[in-house]
Amino acid sequence: MRDNLQAMGAEQRHTFTATFERTGYKTKDVRYATYYQPTLLVNDVTDEQGKVLTDHLWFNYTLGFQKLGHLEKGDRLQFDGRITTYTKGYQGWDAELSAEHPIETDYKIERPTKIKLLGVGEERPPLPKDNWDLVQQIMDENGAFYRARAAQEGKYRK
């Protein structure tokens, strides 16, 4: 659990800094179709005083992040956001998976605004404007990771 985030409270917006790690995507199946949502992972999330609040967070790759252009591992980001709760853990019918990944409440930062890239003078190459093109770029950049994950999942889904 992210106790440091919980302690900040959800009543007001706060300013945070974090280190960009990598992009990713999540999927959602709706009526025989799979929808892809680009995401990004940041590490070492700190408050305005430099206190570490959590080791990592995932964000949707919103327009505010996309406007920064192509991010590189290690880029420092600054943004405002609000602390909120979410439910994590396995929420299906498999008893073994339920035991391995119990349902619990955790904390995250939502609705990031005023997103800035810190310490970078030159403009970054723009990202694709189309959602599917951005997902394809993410898949290409992280191809080795996704192939390894697919192989691992194939091993467990027998």
Per-residue pLDDT tens digits for 92-129: 888 888 899 999 989 999 999 999 999 887 889 999 98
Predicted confidence at residue 156, as pLDDT, reads: 55
Predicted confidence at residue 121, as pLDDT, reads: 79
Alpha-carbon distances of 143 from 91, 101, 120, 136, 150, rounded to whole Å? 28, 27, 27, 10, 11
pLDDT at 158 over 50: no
This prediction has a pTM of 0.85
Q: Evaluate whether 113 touches 67 at the Cβ level (below 8 Å).
A: no
